[in-house]
Every structure is written in C-alpha cells, then in structure tokens.
Amino acid sequence: MTAETLLLYVLACVAIAVIPGPTMLLALSNGMAGGMRRAAWGIAGACFGSAAVIAVVALGLGSLLAASHWLFDALRAAGVLYLAWLGLKIWRAPTTDPRAALAQAPQDEAQRGVALLRSLAVALSNPKAVFFFAAFLPQFVDARQPQAPQYALLGGVFIAIDLLVMLAYACAGTQAVRWMSQRSLRWLNRGCGAGMWLLAGALALGRRPGA
C-alpha cells in the first residue's frame, strides 16, 4: 500500500465519519446524560463493534451475508427494532439539573456498562455496515501483498478517525448540558430520538445490496 493510497483512504474515512450516524447520536446523548465518562464507554462499545465488523469482512464472511436473504433480513429487522427502541428511550429521557447530572456521572457505573452495550449492539446489528466495509476496504488493499496486515491497518485508521469524531460529538453533548436550558435539552434529546427513528426507517426501507 502506497502513501498516496493511505492518504486517500484517510480523507475518505474523515468524510464518512463526520456524517451523523447512530453511534454519533449515542455519543451526543451519552455526553448529555452522563458526561464524558459515560460517553467514553459508549464510544468504546462502538469501536469494538466496528472492529468486529471489519474482522468479519477481512475473513470473507461478508459474502455469506450477501448470499443469505433470510440472514440479512433477520439482522436488518433486529437493527431496525433496536434503533427504534433506542430512539424511544432517548426521546423520553428525563432532563435533570445539568450540574447535578455531571456531578453524579463518575458514580454511575451501571449506566456506563449500558452505554457500552448499546453502542456495541448498534454497531453489530446493521448488516449494511458489513456490505459497506466489504465494498469500501478492498479498494485500498493491494492484492499482491499480504492482506491481513493491510486490513488491520485500514481498520485501525477508520476506528481511530471514528473515535475522534465520536469524542467531538460527546464533548458537544457535555457542553450542551452546561449552557442550554432544560427545555432546550429536552428538545435536543427528542431530536436525537427522532434521528434514531429516521435511521431505523432508512435501514428498514433500504434494499439489500445486489438485490
């Protein structure tokens, strides 16, 4: 892999990462609800999920998903239902005093685990992520060289960029708590919830690649 190819890949990853997705909305919501500590756990879950999906693609298992209609539809249904449920949870999330919420965040151990598992589930329950990586990553892999190290490098770069963007969303959430009124925070929560519903609808209505 040449330096020019890697630079082009980095630029493509940045362009993809800045587009709001479910893990970005979760990072924003977690930052609002529990500060950077909770958001960091959610970001870790999303990174683990992305690493698992990239590993699936590198192992060639994405072709199995592409060939199996029922497996794709089952995974998509699970993803749609989970995103819709998350949207409802975020929409109905209570807004408390901002300073009290941030003060309690370090002791909120259970919610950190919940944040990690939610983001991990979102990352793993979207079959189109597998198709995306299966179509995107091979374009930057040199078939004449060992592929496993190249997939590891490309996956690491993507996850690092995605992590930085999620941190930015989480920081925006913590700042929103400090500076916005409870009424504004309630509407921001509802906006994140509605965003989850839109993503669920897009996943439900999208066609299987190659279908």
0.85 exceeded by the pTM? no
State pLDDT tens for residues 44-54: 998 998 899 88
State pLDDT tens for residues 4-40: 888 888 888 887 777 777 788 788 888 877 778 888 8
- pLDDT-wise least confident of 33-42, 97-106, 159-168, 171-180: 97-106
pLDDT bin (cut points 50, 70, 90) of residue 209 is: very low
Q: What is the 3-state secondary structure (H, E, C) of the chain?
A: CCHHHHHHHHHHHHHHHCCCCHHHHHHHHHHHHHHHHHHHHHHHHHHHHHHHHHHHHHCCCHHHHHHCHHHHHHHHHHHHHHHHHHHHHHHCCCCCCHHHHHHHHHHCHHHHHHHHHHHHHHHHCCHHHHHHHHHHHHHHCCCCCCHHHHHHHHHHHHHHHHHHHHHHHHHHHHHHHHHCCHHHHHHHHHHHHHHHHHHHHHHHHCCCCCC
Q: What percent of the chain is predicted at pLDDT more than 90?
A: 6
Is 134:62 a contact under the CB 8 Å cutoff?
A: yes
Is 16:137 a contact under the CB 8 Å cutoff?
A: no
Per-residue pLDDT, 160: 93
The domain segmentation of the chain, as residue ranges, is: 21-205
Chain centre distance of CA 26: 8
- Of 123, 9, 120, 129, nearest to 62 by C-alpha is 129
17, amino acid identity: A
